[in-house]
Structure 1
Amino acid sequence: MMTFKERIFRKEDPGVYEQKDAHLERTLRVRDFLALGLGTIVSTAIFTLPGTVAAQHAGPAVVISFLAAGLVAGLVAFAYAEMASALPFAGSAYSWINVIFGEVFGWISGWALLAEYFIAVAFVGSGLSANFRGLIAPLGWTLPKMLANPFGTDGGVIDLISVIAILAVAFLLSRGATETSRIENVLVVFKVLVILLFIVVGCTAIKPENYVPFIPEFHLNADGSAFGGWQGIYAGVSMIFLAYIGFDSIAANSAEAKEPAKTMPRGILGSLAIAVVLFMAVSLVLVGMFHYPEYANNAEPVGWALRQSGHPIIAAIVSSVACIGMFTALIGMMMAGSRLIYSFGRDGLLPGWLGKIDKKHLPNNALLTLTIFAVVIGSIFPFAFLSQLISAGTLIAFMFVSLGIYGLRKREGKDIAEPGFKMPFYPVMPALAFLGSLIVFMGLSNDAKIYAFGWFVFGLIVYFCYGMRRSALSKAK
């Protein structure tokens, strides 16, 4: 009989995961993963964060904040690329860490990601609803407050548009990954073209004096947060990092990738590289069009800047595309989140029916569960509250994956096949990825850290009271 220590530190055999995930059809190609990554990363944040962070923290140096956040995300993405190439299983960080460090660490990293997906789906649904209502308001179409806001917020009972959007994406995903990827690919191409249109048009309205001083003098805002100097740039990095975490959604679907040893690294690194360039370009153009204080408390800085520059039609197009961008983000988040929940059920850490697939070889039980929780969370909690929780859980998983490279290298070519891609500058780069994630985590608000700690404690209770005893790995032993 296993001791308590043996139970929680037991490691899954990668061959077992290969067998368990073999019934998931490998249909996704590089272009599908590029679209999935860009659809998740380049969502509505690209139309809002550049102006918001410039006004609140960094001024014109918001470009440096986006670059720094992108560099940290890039370091972690290299670790993700090697992991996904070597261990192309559903569940991304959860499954990888289960193989490398053991079940309890896998559960912690997976539970941290679960918070991201539950909350991110609700968060994006709420944002889509707000943008859509703003888009139709000039037409005289409005919803009563009880159907436009979450329960208890400004007289709200349920955010109806958010619920409809989440249910629509769930229905689409239940039809299959191939059909969904076709729609995602078209929407993402359209979205990138519109972003490029803004960059081209915005360049005609740039005034060089708006970039001076590029790094404003440091002072504290009224709420105690930093503005200006390197402190303001750092505050901007922690706020911006939320926009870059979407590449985990690619890794979560690696069990459905064609030739994952090549497909996964190209999809993960390629989508992030394109996203960083687009974010930096949009932020550079935006702060050049108008002086950064004018974006303070502006919910749609890109659309506002275009209208003030005499381009109302393009502004309307951008606002419409912001809704499309959120829809593509919902697809990526719900697809990845359902695969994570499926992997928990597959391993017995949550009820086994979550790990079942239907006649189409799809984990629709897990998808249904994610949909219900996202609808409930989005109906109860306001948008501002949800935004604080997303980055914390993901950064915890990023730190585990970065350190996991050291354990992976010892086993490559032995019980784990040699991957098609390896993280360069080993052993330095994994340490830099870990430290970068830790530094960004420390820059999060105290509320975000407290909520993350509460979710972590709740997860350990679930594991020790349910998962540890019912684990498929425990039964196999």
Structure 2
Amino acid sequence: MGFMKKADFQLYQDADKHYEQVLGTRDFLALGVGTIISTSIFTLPGQVAAQFAGPGVVFSYLIAAVVAGFVAFAYAEMSTVMPLAGSAYSWISVLFGEGFGWIAGWALLAEYFIAVAFVGAGFSANFQQLLAPLGFHLPAVLANPFGTNGGVVDIISFLVILISALIVFRGASDAGKVSQVLVVLKVAAVIAFIIVGITAIHPSNYHPFIPPHNPKTGFGGFSGIWSGVSMIFLAYIGFDSIAANSAEAKNPKKTMPRGILGSLLIAVALFAAVTLVLVGMHRYSAYEGNAAPVGWALQQSGYSVLSEIVTIIALAGMFVALLGMVLAGSRLIYAFGRDGLLPKGLGKMNKKHLPANGVWALSIVAIIIGAFFPFAFLAQLISAGTLIAFMFVSLGIYSLRRREGKDLPKAAYKMPLYPVLPALGFIGSAFIFWDLDANAKIYAGLWFLVGLVIYFFYGRRNSKNLETEKSKENIEGVGTLN
């Protein structure tokens, strides 16, 4: 099958019939909010404020949300037309061709591998911080990744990723139910922080709201706000995890737009409120290097008990994010195996009609990454793959509109302001990608180089779409002979 040969939508749909449609709007809202409101809201606001934007960090979150929102509208329309496992990979394969679909999917695969490891590492750091006042300290060899502060393996990260994989292995409905319970607790904790934090705000901490720009450090001004956008964009990857599970959606024409757009709206409101309260409670410079600013701000303001409670629920929130990412990433790996682009065993279902091999493949790789690479390094790499997939999906809307109601189903939901909004989604994602850390772009380039080698030397030769194409040619040949 050629690089630009478009995949057959009906074949994908037939291949995904093994999935049970068990996820409703509440499940998707829980998975989406749980993935978005996770490590990012409890770790990044203070660091971005201290390093780049000051109180203006709220604008970093809002600008990132606007760009993510443009793309979320495109995701919502695509998922109603093509509710397929693999989200952007499957969509782009149908719209632009298998090779382009592989690039988009390979980008997302990097995101899920690294994001699962990133959240696992964040969970470990916060869990160890919670236990420290009780006098419990892990030996260095088990507390840190290999080569970091005498570490060999981060055992807590290892265990929490393993447990999340076991829950997803049991089934999507189980993961959805666990997520619903934990997300309610997490949102309640965030709201409690906002309400209590308001009472500890010092208005002087907001002045100047946008500090003057310092060319030497890059801090302040619009430049600082924009640098913050690049750093915190990873916070908004959650709606892709919803789309990746669209093959398991009840009535996807309604549940998918509600889940994608609803989770993004909830997340934006909570991010903005937490950020404003946080920089109002203490001077933004006080958060320099602080990996747990929410708990620290409460503790320093005299709310030690609430600080402990919020930290515990933050850990629950990170666990929800792990469930969502393992669930979505395993479906993407399944889709690659389904199509023969990766070993076909990854595309097989177990007795419960679940892609068990995909779950374990994702989890094992994420555990290895989390064990060998430090938290800060992982944070730099997550956004790159997401942004590339977002650019593909934004452009894909133009091809989708030409085919809706013809060789593809009619859209039950259409993104507004077409054709302007898809262009804005593409341009916004491209600008943010360009402003990523140089190392992130270099490593992303190496990842895609590896991906192209795998595709041309393995995937292209073993593609099931190629087998289907050859079968059609043989049938047509027989028909001609007769």
| TM-score bin, normalised by smaller chain | over 0.9
Q: How far apart, in 1, do the equivalents of 2:220 and 2:69 lie?
A: 25
Q: How far apart, in 1, do the equivalents of 2:180 and 2:390 lie?
A: 27
Q: Tell me the percent identity.
A: 64
**Residue in 2 aligned with 1:450?**
442
**Residue in 1 aligned with 2:314?**
322
Task: After TM superposition, give the deviation of residue 44 of structure 1 in Å.
Answer: 2.1
**Residue in 1 aligned with 2:172?**
177
- The alignment status of 1:408 with 2:400, answered yes or no, reads yes
Q: Deviations over 1:390-416 (max 9, x none)?
A: 100110000000000000000000011
Q: Deviations over 1:260-281 (max 9, x none)?
A: 0111011000001100110000
Q: How far apart, in 1, do the equivalents of 2:138 and 2:272 lie?
A: 36
SS at match of 1:117: helix
Given candidates 324, 327, 345, the residue that maps to 1:335 is 327
Alignment of 1:229-244 (within 5 A): 229-244=221-236
- The alignment status of 1:163 with 2:158, answered yes or no, reads yes
Q: Deviations over 1:272-294 (max 9, x none)?
A: 11001100000011111111111
Letter matched to residue 141 of structure 2: M
Q: Deviations over 1:92-121 (max 9, x none)?
A: 000000000000000000000000011111
Q: How far apart, in 2, do the equivalents of 1:254 and 1:173 lie?
A: 16
Letter matched to residue 36 of structure 2: I
Q: TM-score, normalised by structure 2?
A: 0.96
| Cα contact 2:231–2:380 (8 A) shared by 1 | no
Q: How far apart, in 2, do the equivalents of 1:220 and 1:119 lie?
A: 32
SS at match of 1:158: coil
Q: Deviations over 1:226-245 (max 9, x none)?
A: 21111011011111101111
Alignment of 1:179-198 (within 5 A): 179-198=174-193
Given candidates 386, 390, 394, the residue that maps to 2:378 is 386
Q: How far apart, in 1, do the equivalents of 2:459 and 2:277 lie?
A: 50
Q: Deviations over 1:171-198 (max 9, x none)?
A: 1111111112111100000000010000
Q: How far apart, in 2, do the equivalents of 1:208 and 1:449 lie?
A: 39
Q: How far apart, in 1, do the equivalents of 2:119 and 2:179 lie?
A: 16
Unaligned stretches of 5+ residues in structure 1: 1-5
Stretch of structure 1 that moved more, 378-387 or 189-198: 378-387
**Residue in 1 aligned with 2:474?**
none
Stretch of structure 1 that moved more, 333-342 or 319-328: 319-328
Letter matched to residue 355 of structure 2: P
SS at match of 2:341: coil
The RMSD of aligned alpha carbons is 0.9
Task: After TM superposition, give the deviation of residue 349 of structure 1 in Å.
Answer: 0.3
- The alignment status of 1:293 with 2:285, answered yes or no, reads yes
Task: After TM superposition, give the deviation of residue 371 of structure 1 in Å.
Answer: 1.2
Q: How far apart, in 2, do the equivalents of 1:87 and 1:110 lie?
A: 15
Alignment of 1:359-398 (within 5 A): 359-398=351-390
Letter matched to residue 139 of structure 2: P
Q: How far apart, in 2, do the equivalents of 1:445 and 1:220 lie?
A: 17
Q: TM-score, normalised by structure 1?
A: 0.97
Unaligned stretches of 5+ residues in structure 2: 470-482
Task: After TM superposition, give the deviation of residue 331 of structure 1 in Å.
Answer: 0.3
SS at match of 2:232: helix
> Which portions of structure 1, spanning 4 or more consecutive aligned residues, are displaced by more than 3 angstroms?
none
**Residue in 2 aligned with 1:3?**
none
Task: After TM superposition, give the deviation of residue 148 of structure 1 in Å.
Answer: 0.8
Q: Deviations over 1:269-323 (max 9, x none)?
A: 0001100110000001111111111111222111111111111111111111121
- The alignment status of 1:72 with 2:61, answered yes or no, reads no
SS at match of 1:219: coil
**Residue in 1 aligned with 2:119?**
124
Q: How far apart, in 2, do the equivalents of 1:299 and 1:184 lie?
A: 24
